[in-house]
Amino acid sequence: MRRNSVMPQLAMVTGAAQGIGRAIVERLGADGFDILALDADETQLSRSAADWREAGLTVRTAAADCRDRAAVIKALDGVEAVNVLVNNAGISGVLDPIGQVNRAACDRVMGVNLLATIRVAQEAVRRMPDGGSVINIASRGYLGGAGAAHYVASKAAVVSLTRAMAIELRWRGVRVNAVAPGMVDTRMIDGFGDMLGALKRMEPTGAPANPAEIAAIVSVLAGPEASFVNGQILMADGGKSLGLPPL
């Protein structure tokens, strides 16, 4: 339990309704945090919220498109302190060669993956006590890859944003780190279509990560055990970034 017996600790999680975000809510809730869960998918968020209530977690939900600053501010109404922020909201968008990706697709991916991350961070950090923690969910994809240049660029920007924020906020003792997952077993990978089976077999472990495995890393970064970790990008890709072949 990380909850302070006098003052509950609040963790704010975006993209919380499913996949990695839902796993993070459940892990941090089990760690003792109160949760503020944001997601643009109101229907899925309501379904998840029912499960969280049944599990006994303390979760306040807000249906919000994090690209919309007014919606983020509304979600934070009445919140005095955000102790931990997990910027998880993200999309892969259309997977096409750079010459075929239209402006609308680029704008949407950059808007959700980068601009929303900035806007949420701005509002949360204003409410964050000294000693807080920000965890941005990037992607192993920031290293580069064909067929998703706009997505790769958005996640590389999140990595740079993480490092810049770590430098700026260190004077307050606020740590800023990122987790860069490889393939994770969520609905996002359904976009690979017929290639999915082959891509899974190419993973060093022979399978994608489980969302709970990513949430476990976030749990450590959110807590005092990681007090000396700042400005880091933690790869969670089964060793793929090392060039490891499948087992």
Q: Which residues pair with 61 in a beta bridge?
A: 37
Closest CA to 166 of 111, 88, 226, 212: 226
Cβ neighbours for 209, distance < 8 A, ≥ 6 positions apart: 181, 182, 183, 184, 185, 236, 237, 238
Cβ neighbours for 44, distance < 8 A, ≥ 6 positions apart: 17, 18
Q: Which residues pair with 134 in a beta bridge?
A: 85, 176
Active site residues: 151
How far is residue 30's CA from residue 144's CA, in Å, rounded to a whole number?
35
How far is residue 59's CA from residue 27's CA, in Å, rounded to a whole number?
12
CB atoms within 10 A of CB 50: 10
Q: Which residues pair with 85 in a beta bridge?
A: 12, 134
CB atoms within 10 A of CB 232: 16
